[in-house]
Structure 1
Amino acid sequence: MSNWFADVSRGLINKLSGLGGDSDKGAQGTWSFQPLDRQQVEAAYRSNWMCRKAVDIPAFDMMREGWAWQCEKEQIAAIEAEEKRLKVLSSVFTALKQARLYGGAAIMISDGGEDHSQPLDPRRVGQGGIAFLKVMDRYHLTSGILDYDPMSPTYMEPTYYDLVGAAGGSVRIHPSRVIRFIGADLPTDWEVLVDRWGDSILDAIEIAIRDATAGQQGIAALVQEAKIDVYKIPGFMKGMESEAYKTAVYDRFALVQRMKSTVNAVVMDAEDDYQQKTINFSQLPDVQRLQLQIVSGAADIPATRFLSQSPTGLQSTGDGELKNYYDRIGAEQELTLRDPLEKLLNLVVRSALGEYPDECWFKFRPLWQMSEKEQAEVFKARADAARTIAGKGTGDAPLIPIEALSDSLVNALIESGDLPGLEAAILEYGQLRDQDEPDPVEE
């Protein structure tokens, strides 16, 4: 008697056809996983353009537009100058790439002191308090013992790191000086085994890339044999037993090839037979295109972005899939990048200003940029909406006070950038107006 639970757990079962049974080849498949080691990951990244693009493109797009600070102009100028000095943008970009490639990376923060095993308290970081930033991958900055106290705010995080040197020694680094970036997420149990790092993104897509690469190499090999000349000579195999015959054959057909290329003709004996074999390549482009689309889907990057190709299909612009892709990248910025970036920029702002003002914050710039026509349409719709709201109220009174509506509209125009220099012009206009107003007459 069969095990009923084992049978139903396989899915659809048909005893007559054998579907889902022991004779069903599709029911016998199982999943297995073998992660790529460091050497394989680096070899794939350095030698294969698809691997490099799968790693680099999302990291580049996440950092392409950067972020914008919202605070006083003087503060923004100082923060941006400090970001430039510390090379924050390029450091985060490199950390993202290495995290995707190796499964984990980190930015090490130095305050210029010699003992990096001591905690770095952000509240004690003054102006110029950050000396430099260094990006380390998971193999150079190894995790120490994890914190297994469930009541600790650093539960299941490393209690220290060891920076491995070229000479084989190591330097102890306190976790407060390390900003972690994780690659592909893992189930919780596996995270513990790899010291809370992740997988390389190549682990999940390398089979698709390998198949596409094999297809390209196969087509390249066929190109070498696209046309083959076939000669049939009576008694050829028997004659090859003689060295003199071999030499005569080599000389004869070398002459035939030279004559064919010169006068476009093949001169042969009447008893010989000559054929020309050619390979049909008509279906190969479709096969290769399908393989590249599979790689694009595996990497979660639109083909128009991954392959740098124009969209196919009638009236297809590719804007829809690119907009969806940029929306996903924007969501990933908020879900995975904001937390480590806030920890890093908290220290950078303190190093720039000596403190972190309460009114100071940052937001990621939008990745999808509207065309000039679209921007003009949005501007017109916003202006019409404000005009409509201002004109619809009870009697002569507007629905919303004009002053409040004006302030809201000005803020919207400043944030959208529809009118460059609007904020500075309003401030200057207000100052000029104050100067032109006469002093109040004392009674």
Structure 2
Amino acid sequence: MAVNIGGLYKSHFDGWRNFFSGLGGGQDKTQQTFFKEFPILIYEDLSRLWYGDGIGKKIVSAPADDMTKNWIKIAHDDDNILMKELMRLKSKSKFNLVTKWMRLYGGGVIVMGIRDSGRLTKPVRGWPNNINIAGIDWLEVYSSADVDNINQMDIVKKTRDPLFGDIEEFRIRTKAGNSFRVHRSRCLVFKGEPSPARIDSIGFDNIYWGISALQTVYENIRTFGGVTQSIANILYEFIIGKYTIANLEELLADKKIEDIYTRLNIIDRSKSMIQAVLLGPNEKYERDTANVVGLADLMDKFMIILSAVSEIPATRLWGQSPAGENATGESDLTNYYDFIISKQESQITEPTQTLVEYINSYK
């Protein structure tokens, strides 16, 4: 609401507040919770997650595998002419790989080796409305990490251009270390999750391609990794030996630390050699076990959270349902495959249709 004070309007907002309990005031802990700045993962970070974190890799690869698993069916292709050509081009495996790179890096591109007597930097003959090509020799997959950075100057600004709002050519680096330029019409482009343009730390490259599937789950992956490492450390110390050594205070006072270590080593060696502990007068050896009650339930909770934020049910992400009442079942799998269908429609249907249209235009 706005209040007139001395001719000036001062705005304030209503809200619950309790002076005695601190609710809504400076002592209210909920008022001190803010959404902090988050790290933007660069291509090197994403590559390391792919190589070094099994959960991160599965979050990328599982939906990609499911999106391309059943591949496509072409209506009225009774003689399987189009399907045979798609098989010759190994299109299913190519689409699977580029979909993985799209989910990992935010985008990807398949360059088509089109036979039309034109250069890679020139539009396909007859493009965009009357494609006229002799064939496609090969399909080559590149991730957005293989494409030189895209900036606003690369965007086509002529409103009557069929590429308005897009770019005219990609500059691609190959595995051999060289680079080449290719016209947009010779490429099948795959873009990841849409990226908002209102964050200063996000470059235009991310805005064009989209963001990685690991970007929004990174904090959860890191937390889960910390939890599993903490549990592993607990298990390493699951059984702890307690030694009561005679005259320990005197040995410490006389700085006979080496004598203490020697005695401990003798005890450890006796355990290995004769499966027993050799003790002297007034010495005692006990074994304590760590309390791990509740660790399994704790792990389940973190597994469920990671499944939720990655939109992959526990049965698909972990290979089994977490125990307890929060276990995921058939309804979650149904929702997941609806999610897969929506991703197929929004991310791979258009490039698939383009490839089929190009094949259908062979002269």
The question of a shared fold, defined as TM-score above 0.5 by the shorter chain, is answered with yes
Separation of aligned partners in 1, 2:169 and 2:70: 33
Q: Relative to 1, partners in 2 of residues 1:13 and 1:82: Cα closer, same or farther, differing over 3 Å? A: farther
Task: Confirm whether residue 21 of structure 1 aligns to residue 28 of structure 2.
Answer: no
Unaligned runs of 5+ in 1: 355-443
Separation of aligned partners in 2, 1:166 and 1:258: 54
Indicate which of 184, 193, 201 corresponds to 2:193: 184
In structure 1, the partner of 2:58 is 53
- How far does residue 45 in structure 1 lie from its aligned partner after superposition? 1.1
List structure 1 segments (4+ residues) > 6 angstroms apart after TM superposition.
Answer: 1-4
Separation of aligned partners in 1, 2:355 and 2:203: 25
Moved more, 134-143 or 185-194: 185-194
Indicate which of 68, 71, 76 corresponds to 1:63: 68
Alignment of 1:231-246 (within 5 A): 231-240=243-252, 245-246=256-257
TM-score of the pair, normalised by structure 1:
0.70
Q: Which amino acid aligns with 1:334?
A: E
Q: Relative to 1, partners in 2 of residues 1:249 and 1:31: Cα closer, same or farther, differing over 3 Å? A: closer
Moved more, 113-122 or 194-203: 113-122
Alignment of 1:20-39 (within 5 A): 20-28=24-32, 29-39=34-44
In structure 1, the partner of 2:181 is 172
Separation of aligned partners in 1, 2:285 and 2:269: 16
Alignment of 1:187-198 (within 5 A): 187-188=196-197, 193-194=204-205, 196-198=208-210
Whether the aligned pair in 1 keeps the contact of 2:131 and 2:358 (CA below 8 Å) is no
Moved more, 227-236 or 300-309: 227-236
In structure 2, the partner of 1:41 is 46
Q: Percent identity of the aligned residues?
A: 27
Q: Relative to 1, partners in 2 of residues 1:158 and 1:341: Cα closer, same or farther, differing over 3 Å? A: same
Q: Which amino acid aligns with 2:52?
A: S
Indicate which of 169, 173, 180 corresponds to 1:160: 169
Separation of aligned partners in 1, 2:10 and 2:143: 50
Tell me the SS of whatever aligns to 2:209.
coil
Q: Which has the larger radius of gyration?
A: 1
Moved more, 274-283 or 263-272: 263-272
Task: Confirm whether residue 206 of structure 1 aligns to residue 218 of structure 2.
Answer: yes
Separation of aligned partners in 2, 1:239 and 1:328: 68
Q: Which amino acid aligns with 1:325?
A: Y
Task: Confirm whether residue 272 of structure 1 aligns to residue 275 of structure 2.
Answer: no
Separation of aligned partners in 2, 1:192 and 1:39: 16
In structure 2, the partner of 1:136 is 142
Unaligned runs of 5+ in 2: none
- How far does residue 22 in structure 1 lie from its aligned partner after superposition? 3.3
Deviation digits for residues 7-30 of structure 1, max 9, x if unmatched? Answer: 44xx65445533333333332313
Whether the aligned pair in 2 keeps the contact of 1:148 and 1:155 (CA below 8 Å) is yes
Q: Relative to 1, partners in 2 of residues 1:156 and 1:124: Cα closer, same or farther, differing over 3 Å? A: closer
Q: Relative to 1, partners in 2 of residues 1:264 and 1:5: Cα closer, same or farther, differing over 3 Å? A: farther
Deviation digits for residues 72-103 of structure 1, max 9, x if unmatched? Answer: 412xx211111111111111111111011001
In structure 2, the partner of 1:295 is 306
In structure 2, the partner of 1:111 is 114
In structure 2, the partner of 1:389 is none
- How far does residue 305 in structure 1 lie from its aligned partner after superposition? 0.9
Indicate which of 337, 353, 358 corresponds to 1:347: 358
In structure 1, the partner of 2:343 is 332
Q: Relative to 1, partners in 2 of residues 1:116 and 1:80: Cα closer, same or farther, differing over 3 Å? A: same
Whether the aligned pair in 1 keeps the contact of 2:22 and 2:28 (CA below 8 Å) is yes
- How far does residue 33 in structure 1 lie from its aligned partner after superposition? 2.8
Separation of aligned partners in 2, 1:268 and 1:89: 69
Separation of aligned partners in 1, 2:106 and 2:72: 25
In structure 2, the partner of 1:99 is 102
Whether the aligned pair in 2 keeps the contact of 1:205 and 1:299 (CA below 8 Å) is yes
Tell me the SS of whatever aligns to 1:196.
helix
Q: Relative to 1, partners in 2 of residues 1:64 and 1:19: Cα closer, same or farther, differing over 3 Å? A: same
In structure 2, the partner of 1:307 is 318
Whether the aligned pair in 1 keeps the contact of 2:112 and 2:138 (CA below 8 Å) is yes
Task: Confirm whether residue 80 of structure 1 aligns to residue 89 of structure 2.
Answer: no
Q: Relative to 1, partners in 2 of residues 1:336 and 1:6: Cα closer, same or farther, differing over 3 Å? A: farther
Larger fraction in helix: 1
Separation of aligned partners in 1, 2:273 and 2:17: 69
Task: Confirm whether residue 229 of structure 1 aligns to residue 216 of structure 2.
Answer: no
Q: Which amino acid aligns with 1:296?
A: S
- Alignment root-mean-square deviation, CA: 3.0
Separation of aligned partners in 2, 1:98 and 1:54: 12
Q: Which amino acid aligns with 2:236?
A: Q
Separation of aligned partners in 2, 1:158 and 1:14: 57
- How far does residue 171 in structure 1 lie from its aligned partner after superposition? 2.1
Separation of aligned partners in 2, 1:258 and 1:249: 14
Question: Size of the alignment, in residue pairs?
Answer: 345
Whether the aligned pair in 1 keeps the contact of 2:246 and 2:281 (CA below 8 Å) is no
Separation of aligned partners in 1, 2:259 and 2:203: 72
- How far does residue 339 in structure 1 lie from its aligned partner after superposition? 1.8
Separation of aligned partners in 2, 1:330 and 1:337: 10
- How far does residue 210 in structure 1 lie from its aligned partner after superposition? 0.9
Q: Relative to 1, partners in 2 of residues 1:311 and 1:255: Cα closer, same or farther, differing over 3 Å? A: closer
Q: Which amino acid aligns with 1:19?
A: L
Deviation digits for residues 98-124 of structure 1, max 9, x if unmatched? Answer: 011001111111214572110013534
In structure 2, the partner of 1:215 is 227
Task: Confirm whether residue 319 of structure 1 aligns to residue 330 of structure 2.
Answer: yes
Q: Which amino acid aligns with 2:64?
A: A
Separation of aligned partners in 1, 2:22 and 2:262: 63
Whether the aligned pair in 2 keeps the contact of 1:7 and 1:13 (CA below 8 Å) is no
- How far does residue 296 in structure 1 lie from its aligned partner after superposition? 0.9
Q: Relative to 1, partners in 2 of residues 1:21 and 1:148: Cα closer, same or farther, differing over 3 Å? A: farther
Whether the aligned pair in 1 keeps the contact of 2:300 and 2:322 (CA below 8 Å) is no
Q: Which amino acid aligns with 1:207?
A: E
